[in-house]
Amino acid sequence: MDTEKNFILKAENIVVNRSAGPVLNDISFVLQSKDHLAIIGESGSGKTILGLAISGRIFYKGEIEFSANIDKIVWIEQQHHFRNRYNISDLYYQQRFNSYDSEQTQTVGESLSEFNEGIQEVLQFMKIEHLRNKPLIQLSNGENKKLQIARALLSQPSVLIMDQPFIGLDKETRSFLCDLLNKLANQGILIILITSSDEMPGCITKVLCLENGKIKFMLDRNDFIGIYSVQKKELNNCTINKPKLAKFISDSPSHDFNAAIEMKNVNVQYGEKKILEQINWEVLKGERWLLSGANGAGKSTLLSLVTADNPQAYANEICLFDRRRGTGESIWDIKKKIGYLSPELHLFFDQSSTCFETVASGLFDTIGLFRILSDNDNESVHEWMAIMGIGKLLNKRLYELSVGEQRSVLLARALVKNPPLLILDEPFQGVDKAKQSELIDLINIICLWGNKTMVFVTHYENEKPDCIDHFLKLDNGKVIGKGILT
């Protein structure tokens, strides 16, 4: 181990064990003064666990030593958890769309009230001063991430460790975050990012790659770029079980409808704040739409009107599967025709559920499994997990998995009942590039072979499945683009 005097961080023989065995094994590395680190690797390789160990948030064996001038280490988790005004964290994912319930969570300003000074300056620096009175539960992914960073800056950190900070952010916000991290690094803050191979701000000098809980390599940034340019070409070798998938698609029940979604002059407003304004949108059977827009543009609210999670649907002219909302159908009549995955669903899903229970809950559109499965249901769950390559996770609980593995399980939940409409809101958050390529292939096959209707949301052009043929773009709650993709 390098013992030079100008080290800023040394890790020696780090081991982290869980019930199933070692998660990290014999991790040793050194960062010198002015180094900044990116930790990469496939889903489940141990990246987040290493970040938690470095930040001192979990028990580990071995030694982690910072230089003497390090006095404040701040960890920014991938998902932003918070409590309401009654100190309750057991919230539900539809809560942000109910005006009374959303008012029971703190505002941005209230959530920072523990800090005595500097709040106004930091909010302005992060460009979120206009959100000061907005309830936390109504923040978009990008707004949430900026708030997390604002809180971290108010803590005056010496070390900033961030878990997948770019996930869920639009292009402009990702660029803003890159510039911000470079500025913080220049100010002497040690930056450690758990990130993907192609999202590293310029301040990163070292790249540590994990594989099965061990160091696969640690390289200078420039050396890594040369290696990764070769690795990217190998991702197209990923395959899925197409014969099994073809069988399920051929067994799909027929659904008789002309338009999955039809909205006319739809408006959503909370108090004086207009979230959606004069939305006109029709999604015909077999069409696949890309829904895009910056963080806070209104995408999640628009989708909540379709998934029967927003009560303001009844005050608007909305037809789902050729039937007007509010004409006697239950929310379960709607949900049984929709396979759904979103960051909000992931955030509020019961982490103690096993993977089998999680996938099976998609058959009944519940957050957890509360029914006894038929033999056919049981077979469907096993088959879909096998198709997606997650059969080995069957009896593991969600909290035992990496975020990427959790997202694959929740995607299987959306697909398990073979619904006529898929709504996939940023389905690849936290999924490594190889698995992402495989899942894009899976979605293309399901949509094209099965003539599925789909609404797909992503902030990344390379995540867009080729089957998508239409687009809808929002900005500040208004449609600014709509049509056929060429």
For 343-356, how does the pLDDT look when each residue is reduced to its tens digit (9 = 90+)?
Answer: 888 888 888 999 99
Q: What is the distance between the alpha carbons of residues 266 and 244, in angstroms, rounded to a whole number?
A: 41
Helical segments of 424-480, H only: 433-450
Q: What is the pLDDT of residue 98?
A: 54
Q: What is the pTM of this model?
A: 0.83
Q: Which residue has the tokens 């038929």?
A: 374
Q: What is the distance between the alpha carbons of residues 28 and 341, in angstroms, rounded to a whole number?
A: 38
Q: What is the pLDDT of residue 97?
A: 56
Residues 6+ apart with CB under 8 A from 353: 361, 368, 369, 397, 398
From start to end of 175-272, where are the E strands? 190-194, 206-211, 214-220, 259-270
Q: Which residue has the tokens 């628009």?
A: 302
Q: What is the pLDDT of residue 240?
A: 67
Q: Which residue has the tokens 């709509």?
A: 482
Q: What is the pLDDT of residue 296?
A: 86
Domain 242-484, CATH 3.40.50.300 — does that match?
A: yes
97-103: Cβ within 8 A, 24+ apart: 97/301, 97/304, 97/309, 97/310, 97/311, 97/312, 98/311, 99/270, 99/271, 101/137, 102/135, 102/137, 102/138, 102/270, 103/135
**Whether the Cβ atoms of residue 478 and residue 278 lie closer than 8 Å to each other:** yes
Q: What is the pLDDT of residue 75?
A: 95
Closest CA to 168 of 143, 194, 193: 143
65-72: Cβ within 8 A, 24+ apart: 65/9, 65/10, 65/11, 65/12, 66/8, 66/9, 66/158, 66/159, 67/7, 67/8, 67/9, 67/33, 69/158, 70/8, 70/9, 70/158, 70/159, 70/190, 71/158, 72/155, 72/156, 72/157, 72/158, 72/159
CATH 3.40.50.300 positions along the chain are: 7-80+139-235, 242-484
**Pair of tokens at residue 32:** 């010198």
Question: Which CATH code, of 3.40.470.10, 3.30.540.10, 3.30.460.10, 3.40.50.300, is assigned to 7-80+139-235?
Answer: 3.40.50.300
Q: What is the pLDDT of residue 234?
A: 42
Residue numbers in the chain where pLDDT is lower than 70: 1-5, 20, 79-104, 227-241, 250-253
Q: What is the distance between the alpha carbons of residues 260 and 124, in angstroms, rounded to a whole number?
A: 42
Q: What is the pLDDT of residue 393?
A: 92
